């Protein structure tokens, strides 16, 4: 009985001592009990512009053994006095949809990083947690670093051990800048999309750039803006000015300049065969590249580009998540409408109620699933008699029929006169 009381007293003393060594707030560390170890998890946050597909990527983390904490010092890890360094991974796939407007955020959480670790003895074991930089293009890897101390305690039976607590501090941020040593809670959350996560967070940004491609191949188009002119007396050679403004996604902080080509049906080819026809009539033409002449369009700058019937302005290289506005200026005697597809989603047609009005796509996201703006201008001039020009073919048919009737009557009349 005396031995049992002594053991209980020693256990309480150990718990009291442990509580003095770890942070005072229970919100800043993971707490365990005998039979239910404290746990720590890594949270990976991947941010990308809206409209970007989540990449297939495996993120790897180094959990590096530093040493055993003794008083104010550390006995360096030597390969035998504490569990060796190891790695953990977190996988991302395109099906990880994420959430957010403008910027899409996908969060995932690892399992307990110290699961299955065999501790050699009680003590305070110090590790650092860092991310291994990968080689995926357009992916900015985190340079954050956390210092983690695992408090391993003696259990109630001889030789038994358990993880009584895990504390972590923030040493370097995602950009590699020195942190303030702030305590963070490594305790795993539920890991649900809108749930809770460990505060051992590594944030990466992903800004995917599509292209470059062939402007005469619609499969390579990232954004297309087309022009169709209709109406009996519509001028098919007229160029209609369209103001185009591109805006970078939030992950891209410097102005980007993209090539825009004007294409149309090849008169010598099969239907669907396109050629580059960019000219000074369209805008400020640059010297031709492999595909032909082009126009430079820079993000954050308004560019005015004119198109005539049958022409399409195409971009084959651009960061997904870029937004654009295409605003066609008012054209006398034409009523305008535009059909928009944004990241594969068909938008309800935007149609003016009258002629002589500007027509705009409004701001639209440029995603990986198809983006287009098809402007149609319908000639609305009326004849002096009040008949619309669209009625003229029918009027012409009636006039022709009446003329034929008159000729028939005249011929019949002359035949009768000769017969007399």
Enter the tokens of residue 298: 């820079």
pLDDT in tens, 143-190: 999 999 999 999 999 999 999 999 999 999 999 999 889 999 999 999
Of the two residues 106 and 388, the one the predictor is more confident about is: 106
CB 189 within 8 Å of CB 172: no
Could you give the percent of the chain with pLDDT greater than 90? 80
Q: Which helix (H) or strand (E) holds 307?
A: strand 303-307
Of the two residues 29 and 244, the one the predictor is more confident about is: 244
Domains 2-206 and 210-379 in one fold = yes
The predicted pLDDT at position 255 comes to 97
Alpha-carbon distance 178 to 346, whole Å?
47
230 contacts: CB under 8 Å, gap ≥ 6 = 376, 377, 378, 379
Judged by phi (left if over 0) then psi (alpha if -120 to 50, else beta), residue 269 lies in: beta
CB 391 within 8 Å of CB 360: no
Radius of gyration of the chain (CA): 36
Nearest to 328 by CA among 420, 239, 230, 214: 239
Task: Report the pLDDT averaged over residues 368-377.
Answer: 97
- What is the pLDDT of the chain when averaged over all its residues? 88
Q: Is 210-379 in CATH node 3.90.550.10?
A: no
175 contacts: CB under 8 Å, gap ≥ 6 = 143
Answer yes or no: is pLDDT of 406 > 90. no
Task: Report the pLDDT averaged over residues 344-363.
Answer: 97
* CA dihedral (229, 232, 237, 240) positive or negative: negative
Alpha-carbon distance 246 to 363, whole Å?
9
* CA dihedral (156, 160, 165, 169) positive or negative: positive
CA 120 to chain centroid, in Å, comes to 47
Domain borders along the chain are: 2-206, 210-379
State the burial class of residue 259 (Cβ atoms within 10 Å of its Cβ: 0-12, 13-18, 19+).
Answer: buried
CB 66 within 8 Å of CB 129: no
Enter the tokens of residue 87: 């790695």
Answer yes or no: is pLDDT of 214 > 90. yes
- Class (C level, CATH) for 2-206: mainly beta
The predicted pLDDT at position 193 comes to 85
CA 380 to chain centroid, in Å, comes to 41
CB 156 within 8 Å of CB 15: no
Task: Report the pLDDT averaged over residues 22-42.
Answer: 81
Range of lowest pLDDT (191-205, 284-298, 311-325, 389-403):
389-403
Nearest to 324 by CA among 218, 221, 225, 212: 225
Alpha-carbon distance 138 to 134, whole Å?
11
215 backbone dihedrals φ, ψ, rounded to 5°? -65, -20
The predicted pLDDT at position 6 comes to 37
Nearest to 224 by CA among 283, 251, 264: 264
């Amino acid at each position: 009985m005396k031995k049992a009381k002594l053991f209980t007293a020693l256990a309480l003393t150990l718990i009291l001592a442990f509580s003095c060594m770890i942070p005072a707030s229970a919100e800043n560390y993971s707490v365990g009990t005998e039979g239910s170890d404290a746990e720590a998890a890594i949270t990976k946050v991947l941010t990308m512009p809206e409209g970007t597909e989540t990449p297939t990527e495996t993120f790897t983390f180094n959990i590096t053994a530093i040493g055993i904490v003794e008083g104010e010092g550390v006995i360096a890890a030597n390969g035998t006095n504490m569990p060796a360094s190891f790695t953990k991974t977190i996988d991302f796939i395109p099906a990880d949809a994420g959430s957010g407007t403008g910027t899409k955020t996908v969060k995932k959480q690892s399992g307990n990083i110290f699961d299955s670790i065999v501790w050699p003895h009680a003590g305070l074991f110090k590790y650092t947690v860092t991310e291994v930089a990968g080689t995926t293009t357009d992916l900015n890897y985190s340079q954050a670093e956390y210092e983690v101390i695992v408090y391993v305690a003696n259990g109630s039976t001889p030789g038994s051990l358990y993880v009584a607590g895990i504390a972590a501090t923030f040493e370097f941020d995602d950009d590699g800048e020195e942190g303030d040593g702030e305590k963070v809670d490594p305790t795993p959350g539920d890991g649900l999309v809108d749930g809770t996560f460990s505060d051992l967070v590594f944030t990466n940004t992903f800004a995917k750039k599509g292209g470059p491609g062939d402007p005469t191949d619609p499969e390579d188009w990232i954004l297309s803006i087309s022009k169709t002119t209709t109406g009996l007396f519509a001028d098919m050679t007229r160029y209609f000015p369209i103001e185009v403004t591109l805006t970078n996604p939030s992950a891209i902080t410097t102005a980007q300049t993209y090539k825009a080509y004007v294409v149309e049906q090849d008169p010598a080819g099969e239907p669907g065969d396109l050629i580059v026809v960019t000219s000074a009539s369209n805008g400020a033409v640059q010297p031709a590249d492999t595909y032909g002449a082009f126009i430079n369009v820079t993000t954050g700058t308004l560019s005015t580009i004119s198109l005539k019937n049958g022409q399409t302005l195409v971009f084959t290289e651009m960061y997904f998540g870029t937004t654009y506005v295409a605003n066609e200026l008012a054209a006398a005697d034409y009523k305008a409408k535009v059909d928009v597809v944004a990241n594969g989603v068909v938008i309800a047609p935007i149609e003016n109620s009258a002629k002589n009005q500007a027509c705009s796509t409004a701001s639209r996201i440029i995603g990986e699933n198809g983006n287009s703006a098809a402007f149609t201008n319908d000639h609305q001039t009326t004849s002096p008699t009040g008949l619309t020009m669209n009625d003229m073919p029918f009027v012409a048919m009636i006039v022709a029929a009446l003329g034929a009737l008159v000729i028939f009557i005249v011929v019949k009349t002359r035949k009768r006169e000769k017969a007399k």
